[in-house]
């Protein structure tokens, strides 16, 4: 079993054995890897009732405290209740509820780029996290050093840095969780005891702050206010308090973790492919004229949307990139991982003559799906136009994007996330040029885009120059402060 780049080895095994479904026995635990769109659709979508569970993780779910996160929860009544509440707020029909915060954060991002472009990665993380916290809880976000943003970043970093070897051992031998943390070899448990309070604070603290603002009558409309207003219950001792906390929590975790990776990859892609940037700017200039984009413009910008889709495709395999790896648990639950979030089979099943045992962990090799030549010819190239057909987004390719999961476990926040990132992309391209940074002697600094995957994948900081396209663009950005 490879300790690094497992998704690459899975595809190699698939080709070696001429099979899109691979079975591995990992210390007595069955692992099934799906390496084609057909296998994924046949099992995770068409048979989603059997394949919608999550494999248990003692380290992540119990010791680190992530067990009530809906994306980690087992399939069942508790998960369905959270899924239903989440979908009520984040389905496309309710997008107008969120657009003011999304637009506000995108304009804030533009101003930050204008005044301090070298910290673009920080601005991406900060504004995206702030946007979802404001949307979820109705909280005002500090211009810098916001406590809730800092806490979310800290907790997600702690999850990413969880001791890999110990995590895997305790998931194989759960009895180890009962051994005292001071015993040699139990460092993973000492780590969990140290960071678990931060995890619980990320779930509980902003909820209490949002409730306090509601009690004082000075809260902005939010997901929290609408959830608490349903039925005839007050804020105190609300019967759905745990459900609401978990829904807010998973929304903020996604906004603070996965969306920044996509947007930072977009910056890298524009740096490496200036011809794509120029073509998008021509589309934006032709349609927008001399104003900043709004959400009503997005259907009229197909090439810009195609850039988003190609960035999503390349998040796990950017052109001319290098992966920097560390050893990680082979079955870690992850959202931004080239082997996808794991599913678990609830009953014995059979597929193409193969027996799939109850309890097996099933992975969709998303990295392989995004390189499938049937869907994506020249998969190693960054080509947004592959998503266009007759000047519009090709629905066949749009439906094939596997980034957000499958079947009943597909991410219910995908529309909100894509709307947010699309607005950031359109606004950035309309106002700025992204180019190579210069050294002290005025020579181009050749970029090297690298990623460091753990439980989730992160881009390693890189240099680039982000400059206003014109004096008019600068004025539009500065005038947006008056909104």
Three-state SS sequence of the chain: CCCCCHHHHHHHHHHHCCCCEEEEEECCEEEEEECCHHHHHHHHHCCCCCCCECCCCHHHHHHCCCCCCCCCCCCCHHHHHHHHHHHHHHCHHHHHHCHHHHHHHHHHHHHHHHHCHHHHHHHHHHHHHHHHHHHHHCCCCCCCCCHHHHHHHHHHHHHHCCCHHHHHHHHHCHHHHHCCCCCCCCHHHHHHHHHHHHHHHHHHHHHHHHHHHHHHCCCCCCHHHHHHHCCCCCCCCCCCHHHHHHHHHHHHHHHHHHHHHHHHHHHHHHHHCHHHHHHHHHHHHHHHCCCCCCHHHHHHCHHHHHHHHHHHHHCCCCCCEEECCCCCCCCCCCCCCCCCCCEECCCCEEECCEEECCCCEEEECHHHHCCCCCCCCCCCCCCHHHHEECCEECHHHHHHCCCCCCHHHCCCCHHHHHHHHHHHHHHHHHHEEEECCECCCCCECCCCEEEEECCCEEECCCCCEEEECCHHHHHHHHHHHHC
* Residues contacting 46, CB < 8 A, separation 6+: none
Question: Is 411 annotated among the ligand-binding residues?
Answer: yes
Return d(Cα 263, Cα 242) in angstroms, integer: 31
Contact present, 368 and 33 (Cβ < 8 Å):
no
Cα angle: 252, vertex 91, 61; to 5 degrees: 40
Binding-site residues sit at 411
Binding-site residues for heme sit at 411
């Amino acid at each position: 079993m490879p300790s690094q780049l497992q998704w690459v080895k899975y595809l190699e095994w698939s080709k070696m054995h001429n099979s899109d479904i691979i079975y591995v026995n990992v210390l007595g635990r069955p692992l099934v890897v799906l390496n084609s769109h057909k296998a994924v659709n046949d099992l995770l979508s068409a048979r989603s009732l059997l394949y919608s569970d999550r494999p248990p993780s003692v380290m992540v779910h119990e010791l680190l405290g992530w067990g009530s996160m809906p994306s980690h929860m087992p399939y069942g009544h508790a998960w369905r209740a959270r899924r239903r509440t989440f979908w009520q707020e984040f389905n496309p029909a309710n997008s107008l509820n969120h657009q003011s915060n999304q637009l506000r954060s995108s304009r804030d991002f533009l101003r930050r780029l204008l005044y301090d472009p070298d910290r673009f990665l920080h601005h991406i993380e900060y504004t995206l996290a702030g946007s979802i916290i404001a949307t979820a809880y109705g909280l005002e976000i500090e211009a810098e050093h916001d406590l809730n943003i800092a806490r979310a970043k800290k907790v997600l970093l702690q999850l990413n840095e969880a001791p890999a070897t110990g995590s895997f051992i305790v998931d194989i031998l759960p009895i180890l969780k009962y051994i005292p943390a001071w015993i040699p070899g139990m460092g993973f448990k000492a780590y969990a005891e140290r960071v678990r309070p931060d995890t619980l604070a990320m779930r509980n603290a902003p909820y209490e702050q949002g409730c306090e603002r509601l009690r004082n009558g000075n809260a902005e409309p939010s997901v929290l206010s609408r959830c608490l207003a349903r039925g005839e219950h007050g804020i105190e001792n609300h019967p759905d308090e745990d459900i609401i906390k978990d829904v807010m929590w998973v929304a903020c975790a996604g906004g603070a973790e996965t969306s920044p990776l996509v947007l930072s990859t977009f910056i890298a892609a524009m740096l490496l492919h200036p011809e794509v940037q120029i073509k998008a700017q021509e589309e934006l200039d032709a349609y927008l004229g001399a104003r900043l984009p709004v959400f009503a413009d997005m259907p009229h910008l197909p090439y810009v949307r195609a850039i988003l889709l190609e960035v999503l495709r390349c998040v796990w395999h950017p052109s001319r990139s290098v992966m920097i790896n560390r050893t990680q648990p082979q079955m870690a639950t992850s959202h931004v991982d080239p082997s996808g979030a794991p599913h678990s089979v609830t009953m014995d099943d059979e597929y193409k003559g193969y027996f799939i045992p109850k309890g097996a962990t099933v992975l969709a090799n998303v990295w392989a799906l995004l390189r499938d030549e049937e869907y994506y010819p020249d998969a190693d190239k960054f080509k947004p136009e592959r998503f266009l057909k007759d000047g519009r987004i090709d629905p066949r390719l749009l439906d094939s994007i596997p980034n957000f999961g499958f079947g009943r476990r597909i991410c219910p926040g995908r529309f909100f996330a894509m709307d947010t990132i699309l607005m950031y992309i359109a606004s950035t391209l309309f106002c700025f040029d992204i180019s190579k940074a210069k050294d002290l002697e005025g020579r181009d600094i050749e970029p090297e885009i690298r990623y460091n995957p753990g439980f989730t994948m992160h881009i390693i900081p890189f240099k680039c120059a982000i400059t206003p396209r014109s004096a008019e663009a600068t004025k539009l950005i500065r005038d947006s402060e008056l909104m």
